[in-house]
Structure 1
Amino acid sequence: MAPKHVSTSARALSFMAACAVALVSGTPYLYSTYANQLTTKLELTAIQSNIVAAGVHYGLFLSGPLFGRLVDSRGPRTVGLLSSGLLMTGYAGLSLTYSGLFYSFGFFASFLFLILVGMGSQAGYMTSVSTNAHNFQSARGIAMGVPIACFGLSALLFAQINNLFYKEDTQAFLLLVAKAIGGTILVSVLFLTVFPTQVVEPVVQSEAAPASIGVGTGIGQVVLVPHSAVDDDSTDLSEDAEDRRRRTQERERLLQVDQAGHARNPTTTTAIAHQVPSGFQLFRTTHVAQMLLLSVLFLSGPSLMYVTNAGNIIRSIYRDHMDDPSVPPSDEDLIRLQQLQNFHVSLISLCSCLGRISVGLMSDVGRRGGSKWWGVKRVGFLLYAGLCVWLGQTFGSRVESIQDLTSVSVLVGLGYGSVFGVAPTIVSEWFGVSNFGTNWGWISIAPAIGGQVFNLVFGSLYDREAQHEHTLECFGVECFHTSFALGAFSSFVGVATLIYLSMATRTTRS
């Protein structure tokens, strides 16, 4: 067994490398900083622009099962290298498209390259989060929350670089992003390590959902789950005595009941390692997994609509307040618009980062229960995230000025970040860490569906209003109020789904 200080140092180095990968992988949310420039250069309509924007979300979320499976089977380094190649190709291709190289089919080229950007981002995300999920199993919330927060901070980092050095040179900026991301990931993957498990003990997932709401397997059964070497790294992985006592009591209780609620012999159960379903099978047969997926869908769709279209919304309000909106904006106006876009992208990114890291930390503390801590289940923090998204969409439906958008950016950023800060931890604890990549990959399909639906809705409503102006642009708050109202309804349904999920899992501490 390696000396403690060696293992701790290697673990810390791997943690920092995972965070570095995440920090440069979250650039799909950077799209709003160059969306207007790309749209103008390629002469795209609003719905075409939203289809192009959807490409990055298709790549990001639909590739989740693929890269989740790969990171579970091949390890994080292989997937990290794929991430580097995909992101460099995607951004370099976008830069060339913007330069006019693919002008005759710029719409399709930009759509394709953004798909590659999305896929590379998902690969980087899976690389970083899965590494920490395996290495820090007793503090998953904060260990996964930090790289997830870095992922959300990525857009802020590059938006500020754009604002400081590349205000009027979008092509050079996109090329810089390609080089910076590729180089950072290539160096970081050298230090990524998933530490081998040394002890296998029969446990029931600490926050498993109850059988009474339809979990297929793994509830009321013992599953052989790899246990990290706590002897070597007790400082990193140990839990307090009270938490261990509650875990023991819960396991003893769950061992007495099978899926149908019948008595089960604990000795017999302990002797058999039941296979927990994963991937599509999990979401086909497990009720709580279905509810979790639906809640993510209803909340992420409206959030992605705003993240993707913040630039269009700002431009609509700004142009409407010009003396003559039909006159093309001056160079001074264009610079001011770029600054406003960068500000709101940075604000969304910063709030997303705060939501991701704070909800991970608080859910680690809150789940312990008892008089010493809050006793709040992780799903309760997901409910908080849903309320933030709902409030943000509601405020958005009443926006009258660019200043009003600040509260929308803060709330949507906090809510969206918090959803993706705590949901992966819930997946790893409810359904096990061994297939975390695969299971979370399937959950990540939900934002692809929700985001696409709401982006198409936004683009259709925007173009319908633009027809009144007889241009490709729409001026005024009427361009987006209805879209926000629909987003508020969707997020309300998501909150209702989470309330049901919280009540259904009230007998556990998840």
Structure 2
Amino acid sequence: MPAGAEYPPGESLVAAAEADVALADLLEDPVGMVPEVITTEITAATAQHDSRSHSHARRLLTFGSALLSCLCAGSIMLFALYAPQFQTHLGYTQVQVNVLSILGEAGMYLTTPVVGISADVFGSGVLSLIAAFFYASAYSLAAWSYAASLPFPCMMLSFLFIGCGTACMYFGSITVCAKTFASNRGLALGLPITAYGLSSLWLSQVVAWFFTDRESGEVAVSRLFGFFAVFLAVVALLAAAGFQLGYRPELEAQSALRPKKAVHTKRVSTDESAQLLNGDEPVIEAFVEDGEEEVEEITSPLTRTRMVLDFVSDYTAWVFALGLFTTTGPGEMFLNNMGSIIRSIGTPGPSAPTNVAVIAFSSVTMRIAAGVASDQLAARHRSRMGLLLFFAAFLGLGHFMVGFGGAQIAHGRWFWVVSAILGAGYGAVFTLAPAVVSLVWGAERFGTNWGVLFVFPAIGAIVYELLYAAIYDAHSADARLCLGLECYRATFLVTGMSCIVAFLAWLCVWRISWNLRGVFV
């Protein structure tokens, strides 16, 4: 009865008694008086909150494992620190030294299609276990080969496996971050990539402090390889445990699957650029629950094979690949042969560990700066291609400085300037190029397209390293060591011209082709 209403005669005492009983029950058991549906909702909300907290902790564990992996995965980039001792201690020619470098890069770059599929199918934890095997076996064999002067094929196998271990550790970490933090993918990928760049920075200092003779400046190569065999295997095993205990996107994706009907819907592009490829409108595969209505007609699915064929049939993709070949290839060549270049300057000369650190620092810094600058340019409706062209020219400047003798000035006192220029340009190109690929050919095709283009830096490194080795050996008096500017002058004049070719190729494809097609990059 409403408050303030009068009870009929004879019922007032009964109503008052019932009210007293209800009040007593409420005071005795307040939860019991709450409707059951409310308690169920409270329980469900509490369970959901606990589940989210647990999921958040698992994601943090996964991200921490990925950062740890990338922060220790750059041991192969220290090749220049000990490469000259392959010549002095083992008697290798420069061509043989460059073959080792090429095999490391082949293991790292050319295995990425297989490694990527393995990451999707088996998860990053399994890749880390494989990396632990590769690192332990490869560096142990390399240490034994160096100490006992085993045949050259033993060292070749070692560096091929080192490259494979690096690919497994790095690519597994990047893949799990992309899947785990889909809503913040830029930052989630940027931090591991930056950590990978920093790995050579701090590892080079470890080599300088604990594995380098203070008087002769030579690296204790056998001890260093033994250290890497144990240290990197332990790091990979810790990362594997973190990936298994943390958030596992491959399992989450499987558990989320329900009986669904496949529908193929036309893609409505919201990118700031249109697709370049001609033909039928690309389609993506969507799913609806059983019983839901299909919104659009079923069309032919865009298969992975067709995506690759469409991409390689676009001539602008090959022009862009030419630019990658002629910028990143010379960059890899410089990184892997910096030790022999420094040795050719004579004594006293610049410090190899210091210059490795300069390259790593400038590369990492410019990766972040180039990414931020490109986003700012896009926000102001200005093209990212201008920034990419600037760094292509910047790389050319660095190569010409070496070719015209700038590295020889004052016994290499200003060599760090060359290292900073080439490191910064190399890092910026590797940051800007993927962004351009995703904008021009579409984000839904990025994995396939960048996987195809990612082979060209490896091919460029092979070509330019063989060029460097041939010219170096041609000017070596005893076919082992070479001193003076002639050891590398011609090589760096060629690489400087290569960067100009990249600049012109990218300028033409941007202004002549993409602009005419209405593509904003």
Structure 1 position 210 matched with structure 2 position 210: no
Structure 1 position 449 matched with structure 2 position 459: yes
Structure 1 position 474 matched with structure 2 position 474: no
Output the CA distance in 1 between the equivalents of 2:305 and 2:272. Answer: 13
Which stretch of the first structure deviates more once superposed, 129-138 or 176-185?
A: 129-138
Letter in 2 for 1:214: L
Structure 1 residue 407 displacement after superposition: 1.8
Output the CA distance in 1 between the equivalents of 2:474 and 2:442. Answer: 47
C-alpha distance 317-208 of structure 1, shift in aligned 2 (>3 A): same
Q: CA RMSD in A?
A: 3.2
Output the CA distance in 2 between the equivalents of 1:209 and 1:85. Answer: 44
Structure 1 position 178 matched with structure 2 position 229: yes
Output the CA distance in 2 between the equivalents of 1:137 and 1:205. Answer: 19
Other structure's SS at 1:223 match: strand
Q: How does 1:93-492 map to 2 (within 5 A)?
A: 93-100=141-148, 103-105=149-151, 107-168=152-213, 169-192=220-243, 193-195=247-249, 196=252, 207=271, 210-211=274-275, 213-214=276-277, 221-224=282-285, 274-275=302-303, 280-281=308-309, 283-319=311-347, 340-367=351-378, 369=379, 374-398=380-404, 399=406, 400-401=408-409, 402-427=412-437, 439-466=449-476, 469-470=477-478, 472-492=480-500
Write the deviation string for residues 305-363 of structure 1: whole angstroms up to 9, x where unpaired: 100110000000125x7xxxxxxxxxxxxxxx6x7111111111111222223333444
Which stretch of the first structure deviates more once superposed, 475-484 or 281-290?
A: 281-290
Structure 1 residue 382 displacement after superposition: 3.6
C-alpha distance 221-128 of structure 1, shift in aligned 2 (>3 A): same
Other structure's SS at 1:173 match: helix
Match of 2:65 among 11, 14, 17: 17
C-alpha distance 488-112 of structure 1, shift in aligned 2 (>3 A): same
Write the deviation string for residues 28-84 of structure 1: whole angstroms up to 9, x where unpaired: 211001111222221011122112221111111111222122223333222222222
Q: Runs ≥4 in structure 1, deviation > 6 angstroms? A: 197-202, 269-272, 432-435
Structure 1 residue 409 displacement after superposition: 0.7
C-alpha distance 446-186 of structure 1, shift in aligned 2 (>3 A): same
Percent of counterpart pairs with the same letter? 26
Output the CA distance in 2 between the equivalents of 1:13 and 1:204. Answer: 36
Match of 2:503 among 462, 475, 495: 495
Output the CA distance in 2 between the equivalents of 1:74 and 1:429. Answer: 30
Which stretch of the first structure deviates more once superposed, 346-355 or 191-200?
A: 191-200
Letter in 1 for 2:458: A
Question: What corresponds to 1:237 in structure 2?
Answer: none
Other structure's SS at 2:351 match: helix
CA contact (8 A) 1:296 1:446 kept: yes
Question: What corresponds to 2:7 in structure 1?
Answer: none
CA contact (8 A) 2:70 2:173 kept: yes
C-alpha distance 432-214 of structure 1, shift in aligned 2 (>3 A): closer
* Number of aligned residues: 440
Letter in 1 for 2:454: S
Letter in 1 for 2:274: P
> How does the TM-score come out when normalised to structure 1?
0.77
> How does the TM-score come out when normalised to structure 2?
0.75
C-alpha distance 144-343 of structure 1, shift in aligned 2 (>3 A): same
User: Over alpha carbons, which structure has the higher Rg?
Assistant: 2
C-alpha distance 282-310 of structure 1, shift in aligned 2 (>3 A): farther
Structure 2, unpaired ranges of 5+: 1-47, 214-219, 258-262, 288-294
